[in-house]
Amino acid sequence: MSVTGSPQELATRVLERAVAASPAAEIEVSVDHSRPALTRFANSVIHQNVAEEYVQVGIRVHVDGRTASASSTIVSDDGIDALVARVLAAVALAPVDPGWPGLTPPTPLGAVAPLDPATRDASPDDRASIVADFVAAAGGLETAGYCRTNHRREAFANSAGHVVASECADVALAGIARRAGQSGVADGVARMLSLRIADLDGAVLGARAAAKANAGVDPVELPPDRYEVVLEPTAVADVLEALAAFGFNAKAVAERRSFVRVGEEQFDRAITLVDDAPAAGVAFDADGTPTQRVALVDAGRTVGLTHDRRTAAAAGGDAVSTGNSIGSASFGALARHLVLSGSAPDDPPAGEVDGPVVDASAAELVAGVERGILVTDFWYTRVLDPRTLAITGLTRNGVWLIEHGEVTRPLRDFRFTQAYAQALMPGAVLGVGRTTTSLPGDTYSADMPWWTAPALHLAAWNFTGGASG
C-alpha cells in the first residue's frame, strides 16, 4: 500500500472501480490526504509531539432509490475493491431513501485563500521554535498548550462528471501561562489561528497569556447575578460554535429544534454574521458543492441558513446548498468558519495593551463599562435546551471586575446558565470590538472549525454560581 499519488488520482481510481462494479449507480468519492502535526507542551516543556500521514477514502452510492456510504484508510487495489464491495452490499439492503438529492453536477470552484508554502512545509523544529518563544515570553511562569500545523489535500469525484481538488494549510497556537497565588493558580490564555505561519508570533502570545495570569492572582468571589459583560474573542468563539451547531443548521430549523427564523429581526443591529469557508482555504464540502461566503445575519436580521444538498432539496422552493455539507444526513449542514463582523473591519489588527485585556479593540469596550465583568474564556459549555439555546458552562482563564471603565480586580470563576440567543437579541449588544481575531475551534482534525470574532459588550449575562458552588 502506498499513500503517494495525488488525491484526485486516487478519487478517480476509486470512482472508476466503483462505476465498473455498479454502472447504474450514482456514486461519489471523496479523498482526504492530510498531514497534521501537533506539538504540545505542559509545565513549560514539550511533552507530547505527534505527526501523522493520513489518507481516507469515502464513498457514497445511490442505486435503485437506496443510499449507503463507507470509508477506509486502506487504499491498495485490494482495499479499494473491498470498500466498493462493502458499500454495494450495504446499499442493496438499505431502505428506500426518499430524500436523496442527486449528485452535484459539474461546477467550477470559486476562489479561496491561497496556500502558504511555509505553513504547508512546517517542520517539528518550526513548531518547537514557536513553542520556545511562547514559553520564554511568559517570563518564567509555567506554560502549557500546543502549536499545530495541518496540510490538507482533498479531492472529490462523482459519476455525474464532477471532479474537484484543493489543498489548504493552517497553523494555530493555544497556550496558557500559570501564576501561583495565595488562593490557587491563575491562568491566562492566548490563542490564534492563521493560514500563514509567519503571522504566528509565539512571543506575543506568550506575553499576552502571562499578562492575564499575572493580573489574575488572588481573585475575589462575586455573588451570582446578571452582570453586564465584555466577552473577549476567545469567549465569543464559544457563542459562535453554538450558533453554528444548533442555530443556523437548516435541518434543525426544519425540525423546529432551532430558534432561528429567516427574515426576522432576531439579533441586535450590531450583529452581522457570515460563514466564510473560502477565507479558510476550503473550496468544497462533503457533497462536492463549492463553498461560498454565506450570509446568515445582516445587521440583526436573520437572512440565511446553512444547507447541504439534502436539506436544500427537503426545503424546496429556491433553497440551494450553501456548501456546508459534512456528509451527515442525520446532523444536517454545519457552518464551520463563522465570522462575526467587527465594528471597523477594515482597521488593522488591534495592538497589544498593558494588563489583562486581550488587545486594544477589547480595551475600547472595557472603557465603556460602568460596572461589569470582563470574561476571557468559556469552558465546558453544554446545551440545556437547543430551542432556546440555553447553555450552562463556566468561565476560565481570567475573569475581572470592571468599574468605571477600568479593570479593577480579578474574580473567581463563575458558572453561568444563559440563553445565548437572548444575549444577542435586539438591544442586548452594547458594543462590538473594532477588529476580529481568528481562533482555532479545537485541536486539529481534518475538518476542524475556526471562528473569527471581535470582543462583545453585552447588557447582561446570567451567572448562576460561583466557584464554591
Partner 1 sequence: MSEFDAATAAVQAALDAGATYADARVMHRRYESMTARNGDVEDLTQDETSGIGVRALVGSGWGFFATPDLSDASVRAAGAQATAIARSSGRVSRAAAGMIPLGEAATGSWASECVIDPFTVSLADKGDMLVRATATMFEHGADIAEALYQIWDTAKWFVSSEGHRIDQRIREAGAGIMATSIGDGETQRRSYPAARGQYGTRGWELVQEIDIEAHAARVADESRALLTAPPCPAGETTLILGSEQMALQVHESVGHAIELDRILGWEAAYAGTSWLDLAQLGSLQYGSELMNITIDPTISGALGTFGYDDEGTPAAPRDAVRNGVWVGVLAGRDSAAVAGLDYAGSVRADGWARLPMVRMTNVGLEPGPHTFEEIIAATDDGIYMETNRSWSIDDKRLNFQFGTEVAYEVKNGQLGRLLRNPTYTGIGPQFWRSMDMLSSEIVPWGTPNCGKGQPGQIGHTGHPAAPARFRNVRVGLRA
113-152: contacts with partner 1 (CB under 8 A): 123-125, 127-129, 131-132, 135, 142, 144-146, 148
Q: How many residues bind partner 1 (CB under 8 A)?
A: 99
Query: Which of residues 135 and 280 has its CB atom nearest to partner 1 in the complex?
Result: 135
Q: Sketch the per residue contact string, 254 through 283, with partner 1: x for CB under 8 A, - otherwise.
A: -xxx--------------------------
Sign of CA dihedral 441, 240, 187, 133: positive
Query: Which of residues 276 and 377 has its CB atom nearest to partner 1 in the complex?
Result: 377
Q: Characterize 6-34 residue by residue with b for buried, 16 or more Cβ atoms within 10 angstroms of its Cβ, and e for exposed.
A: ebbebbbbbbebbbeebeebbbbbbbbbb
- Span from 281-289, 346-354, 386-394, 450-458 in contact with partner 1 (CB under 8 A): 386-394
Tell me how far, at minimum, the Cβ of 144 lies from partner 1, in Å.
Answer: 4
Tell me how far, at minimum, the Cβ of 342 lies from partner 1, in Å.
Answer: 27
410 φ, ψ (degrees, to nearest 5): -75, 150
Tell me how far, at minimum, the Cβ of 452 lies from partner 1, in Å.
Answer: 21
Query: Which of residues 180 and 198 has its CB atom nearest to partner 1 in the complex?
Result: 180
Q: Does 465 bind partner 1 (CB under 8 A)?
A: yes
Distance, CA of 55 to CA of 205 (rounded, Å): 33
Q: Does 48 bind partner 1 (CB under 8 A)?
A: yes
Coil, strand, or helix at residue 242? helix
Sign of CA dihedral 284, 72, 148, 241: positive
Sign of CA dihedral 102, 107, 113, 116: positive
> Scanning residues 150 to 179, which ones bind partner 1 (CB under 8 A)?
174-176, 178
Tell me how far, at minimum, the Cβ of 409 lies from partner 1, in Å.
Answer: 21
Q: Does 242 bind partner 1 (CB under 8 A)?
A: no
Distance, CA of 186 to CA of 217 (rounded, Å): 5
The amino acid occupying position 233 is P
Q: Does 422 bind partner 1 (CB under 8 A)?
A: yes
Q: Choose which of 140, 225, 345, 380 interacts with partner 1 (CB under 8 A).
A: 380
Q: Choose which of 47, 261, 269, 371 interacts with partner 1 (CB under 8 A).
A: 47
Q: Does 44 bind partner 1 (CB under 8 A)?
A: yes
Query: 247 near 333, Cβ under 8 Å?
Result: no
Tell me how far, at minimum, the Cβ of 283 lies from partner 1, in Å.
Answer: 23
Q: Sketch the per residue contact string, 303 through 332, with partner 1: x for CB under 8 A, - otherwise.
A: -------------------------xxx--
Q: Does 468 bind partner 1 (CB under 8 A)?
A: yes
Tell me how far, at minimum, the Cβ of 3 lies from partner 1, in Å.
Answer: 5
Strand partners, 151: 35, 169
Q: Does 72 bind partner 1 (CB under 8 A)?
A: yes
Report the residue count for the chain: 469
Tell me how far, at minimum, the Cβ of 214 lies from partner 1, in Å.
Answer: 17
For residue 180 the three cell numbers come to 501561583
Q: For 51, what's the count of Cα atoms within 13 Å in the CB-facing half-sphere? A: 13
Shortest CA distance to 387 belongs to which of 429, 420, 416, 417?
A: 420
Q: Choose which of 118, 203, 217, 394 interacts with partner 1 (CB under 8 A).
A: 394
> Scanning residues 423 to 442, which ones bind partner 1 (CB under 8 A)?
442
> Scanning residues 89 to 108, which ones bind partner 1 (CB under 8 A)?
89-90, 93-95, 98
- Span from 45-53, 153-161, 288-296, 365-373 in contact with partner 1 (CB under 8 A): 45-53
> Strands of 338-340's sheet, edge to edge?
301-302, 293-298, 273-276, 338-340, 450-453, 437-440
- Span from 40-48, 151-159, 212-220, 431-439 in contact with partner 1 (CB under 8 A): 40-48
DSSP summary character for residue 53: -
For strand 338-340 and strand 142-158, is the pairing parallel, antiparallel, or unpaired?
unpaired
> Scanning residues 169 to 228, which ones bind partner 1 (CB under 8 A)?
174-176, 178, 187, 189
Tell me how far, at minimum, the Cβ of 278 lies from partner 1, in Å.
Answer: 25
Provide the 10 A C-beta neighbour count for residue 348.
8
Query: Which of residues 40 and 293 has its CB atom nearest to partner 1 in the complex?
Result: 40
Q: Choose which of 326, 367, 419, 460 interacts with partner 1 (CB under 8 A).
A: 419
Q: Is 218 left (phi over 0), alpha (psi -120 to 50) or beta?
A: left
Query: Which of residues 70 and 430 has its CB atom nearest to partner 1 in the complex?
Result: 70
Shortest CA distance to 246 belongs to which of 390, 92, 440, 48?
A: 390
Query: Residue 257, class by beta-carbon neighbours within 10 Å (0-12 exposed, 13-18 middle, 19+ buried)?
Result: middle
Query: Which of residues 251 and 434 has its CB atom nearest to partner 1 in the complex?
Result: 251
Q: Does 22 bind partner 1 (CB under 8 A)?
A: no
Query: Which of residues 248 and 259 has its CB atom nearest to partner 1 in the complex?
Result: 259
The amino acid occupying position 298 is D
Query: Residue 125, class by beta-carbon neighbours within 10 Å (0-12 exposed, 13-18 middle, 19+ buried)?
Result: exposed
